[in-house]
Amino acid sequence: MQTGICRPVASRLGAAGITASLLAAALISTTLTSPPARAETAQEKGLAIAVEAERRDSGWGDSRAAMLMVLKNRQGDESVREVRVRSLEVEGDGDKSLSIFDQPRDVKGTAFLSFSHATRPDDQWLYLPALKRVKRISSRNKSGPFMGSEFAYEDISSQEVEKYRYKHLRDEQLDGRDVFVVERYPEYENSGYTRQVAWIDAERYIPLKVDFYDRKDSLLKTLSYSDYRQYLDRYWRADSMLMVNHQNGKSTRLDWSDYQFGTGLQERDFDKNALKRLR
Amino acid sequence: MGETRLARLLAGLLMALSASHAAQAAGEWHGELAIEARHFSDPPPHSADWSDGASLALDLEYYERIGDRHSLVVSPFVRLDQRDQQRSHADLREAFWHYYADEFELRAGIGQVFWGVTESRHLVDVINQTDFVESSDGEDKLGQPMLQLILPTDIGNLELFWLPYFRERTFAGVDGRPRPALPVAVDEPVYQSGRGPRHWDFAARYSHSFGIWDLGLSQFTGTARAPRLVPTFDAASASLKLVPHYDLVSRSGIDLQATIDAWLWKLEAVHQRAALRQDHSEAVAGVEYTFFDMRGSGADLGLIVEYLYDQRGADADQPFQDDLMLGLRLALNDVQSSQALFGVIADLDGGGHSLALEASRRLGDDFTLDFEMRASENVDPAEDPQLAPFSHTDFARLQLSWYF
């Protein structure tokens, strides 16, 4: 069973694939980075950072949060969306998430259910309250905009380690913090990106900034995380995420609030039937 | 008759509203107020000889959560139509209490339920009666009194329904459009059951999602939602009218969708058994393919093809016996959520076809603009006798909605 593959095993499988295909590249680039005690390649180090980040962020169980999405166009006109987000950590597979829209008012009650998977396409359903209809939808749409925003579907979906290949570029400082600069390449199909460059906090293993490069390898967007807060003495969540599109001049800011963990959400709160129950 | 019923419903509604207010309920209200203009392009083959009409509709929803396990939903609807007394109507779309237990869910009151996967027709969707005066596409439904028990299991959901009261289908009145050439005598329904609308209907549904598959199996026993319209001589007016006959049927259905990459493969099929009607099967099968984020524009274009089948052929009491539906769905995925759906259903035997275009766009934060156009052409009464009464019903509709 594909769902039976637990995360560490899947990560190791991914690592094996990388070493096989990128051995040549690895041999060239190892000398560019600060050499560790063992001759760790830039790919291995990039992957190790991703695995460590995921290890530190696992075990949270379930969470609820409120998301305010502020869309700004080139002229500075703003438009607002309000979404309640519920998440469930799934042992050995991608997370389950449920988004309930409160604003704009014409889509109030619309809900989006997603089961993310590391190695096969995500399962997604949409609930249309006017028709009381649950629709299974294709999850192939990765690069398209989420609710007319500058966030693509692939930017808001669960970030599993196996979704990318990695390469550690360098260590540096960002806003006075030590960071790893890691390049990652989408392993899933239909991504709008050739690569992403992520600035990962070296102490807390959380992203501070990500640059997105489009299919022509031009800089498309920059995502900046700010106002991180720690929950349950362990898990870091950013209160604010700003995505700036350098090519069209638009931006989208996500303001998160009311984060709660261990709220008692269960599998049953993340099925098709749950969508109809929501208000 | 229609007006007193409307007044009674409104009075009841206001009482319910003030009662909930008096109880200092902690729930929340939201709603939609819509103004609509319709234009019919052809002169009708009956007395309702007008081409432009205006209408106002109000849709409210009250929701209150009571503790962890109980909730209450009340959703009244009312429409005032300039032209048609039958279209001026009120309905409790939903008014139910919901109980969430560890092993089951219970819903009691007036509810709305949708089953199915296809776009051109909704064959397996049998719980709610169609509110036909609202729109001719059959997507609007009347509230259905019910007791619904939901039993979740590891291998899918089982739902059981007790439906103790029947709702009659609404039809445009003598002054209404679109309507058949003969008026429908909505106040003189004929029931097969001696208990009339109080016949107890039952339904059960099993549904499950596994991997790429979404499956539903359903069984309904009771009064058919779709009436037979029987031409009957009216002695008082010395003319013909259509009398709705509501027969008892047993209807088994399956709906299945396979979601593979950008392809959605869909099937709905039903088999119906009845004492007063021909036993038969109907099916809709098709596929929807979507080009996502076309050329990096963010816009999606979906192509839909569905085949509609009725075993009874020309004897069917509905027009889609051997028809093909082609659809185009465009979503710009912009800030205004601009979208459009174009569809054509063509009869593969007679050559008659009908067209529909629906488009919508948000204006500002709290308004939407909807446009709809429907037309039918070359309907051959011999090949499509069921569609013939609905010819000359080409119309365009514009609606502005305010959400609060």
The secondary structure of A88-154 as a DSSP string is E--TTS--EEEEEEEESGGGTT-EEEEE--SSSPPEEEEEETTTTEEEEE-----SSBSTTSS-BHH
Nearest CA-CA partner of B6 in B92, B75, B88, B61:
B88
First to last CA, chain A: 35
- Structural contact between residues B264 and A136, judged by C-beta atoms closer than 8 angstroms: yes
* Six-digit token string for A1: 């069973």
Nearest CA in chain A to B93: A130
Longest distance between any two alpha carbons in chain B, whole Å: 66
Classify residue B198 by burial, with Cβ atoms within 10 Å: 0-12, 13-18, 19+. Answer: exposed
Chains A and B form CB pairs within 8 A to the count of 102
CB count, 10 Å around CB of B39?
13
> Residue A6 above 60 pLDDT?
no
What's the pLDDT tens digit per position in B54-107?
A: 999 999 999 999 998 999 999 999 999 999 999 999 999 999 999 999 899 999
Nearest CA-CA partner of A161 in A57, A63, A41:
A57
Residue B386 has what pLDDT? 54
* Six-digit token string for B276: 């007063």
Q: Do A73 and B157 touch (CB under 8 A)?
A: no
Residue B338, CB-side half-sphere exposure with 13 Å CA sphere: 7
Cβ neighbours of B30 in A, within 8 Å: 105, 108
> Count of H helices and E strands in chain A?
5, 13
Predicted confidence band of residue B42 (pLDDT cuts 50, 70, 90): confident
Q: Can you tell me which residue has the tokens 């019923």?
A: B5
**CA–CA distance, A73 with A148 (Å, rounded to integer):** 11
**How many Å separate Cα A33 from the centre of its chain?**
26
Nearest CA-CA partner of B74 in B84, B66, B85, B64:
B64
Interface of chain A toward chain B, CB-CB under 8 angstroms: 71, 73, 79-80, 103-108, 121, 123, 125, 131-138, 140-145, 148, 190, 192, 214-215, 268, 271-273, 277, 279
Q: Is B329 helix (H, G, I), strand (E, B) or coil?
A: strand
Which of A79, A125, A137 lies at the smallest CB-CB distance from B365?
A79
Residue B204 has what pLDDT? 98
Predicted confidence band of residue A29 (pLDDT cuts 50, 70, 90): very low
3-state class percentages of chain A: helix first, strand second, coil last, to nearest 5: 25, 45, 35
Going by their DSSP bridges, the two strands B239-246 and B190-191 should be labelled as parallel
- For chain A, give the mean pLDDT: 86
- Structural contact between residues B300 and B331, judged by C-beta atoms closer than 8 angstroms: yes
* Six-digit token string for B259: 């979601």
On whether any CB of chain A is under 8 Å from the CB of B221, the answer is no
> With a CB-CB cutoff of 8 Å, which residues 336-355 of chain B face chain A?
336-337
Q: Do A71 and B335 touch (CB under 8 A)?
A: yes
What's the pLDDT tens digit per position in B237-296?
A: 899 999 999 999 999 999 999 999 999 999 999 999 999 989 999 999 999 999 999 988
Tell me, what's the ipTM?
Answer: 0.91
**CA–CA distance, A30 with A39 (Å, rounded to integer):** 8
Cβ neighbours of B291 in A, within 8 Å: none
DSSP state of A34: P
Give the amino acid at B171.
F
Predicted confidence band of residue B385 (pLDDT cuts 50, 70, 90): low
Q: Do B261 and A138 touch (CB under 8 A)?
A: yes
Nearest CA-CA partner of B138 in B114, B163, B162:
B114
> CA angle, A43 as apex, A38 and A48 as ends, to 5°?
70
- Structural contact between residues B366 and A79, judged by C-beta atoms closer than 8 angstroms: no
> CA angle, B268 as apex, B254 and A279 as ends, to 5°?
80
* Six-digit token string for A153: 């579907």
Q: What sign for the dihedral angle of Cα A179, A184, A188, A193? A: positive
Residue B188 has what pLDDT? 94
The arithmetic mean of pLDDT across residues B131-159, rounded, is 94
**CA–CA distance, B362 with B366 (Å, rounded to integer):** 8
What's the pLDDT tens digit per position in A109-140?
A: 999 999 998 778 899 999 999 999 999 999 99
Predicted confidence band of residue A22 (pLDDT cuts 50, 70, 90): very low
The arithmetic mean of pLDDT across residues A73-98, rounded, is 93
Predicted confidence band of residue A32 (pLDDT cuts 50, 70, 90): very low
Q: Do B259 and A143 touch (CB under 8 A)?
A: no
Stretch among A174-183, B97-106, B252-261, B384-393 having the lowest mean pLDDT? B384-393
Q: Is B227 helix (H, G, I), strand (E, B) or coil?
A: coil
Which of A106, A137, A145 lies at the smallest CB-CB distance from B333?
A145
Residue A184 has what pLDDT? 97
Q: Is B138 helix (H, G, I), strand (E, B) or coil?
A: coil
* Six-digit token string for A226: 């700010």
Q: What's the Cα-to-Cα distance from B277 to each of A25, B188, B192, B248, rounded to whole Å?
A: 73, 20, 11, 9
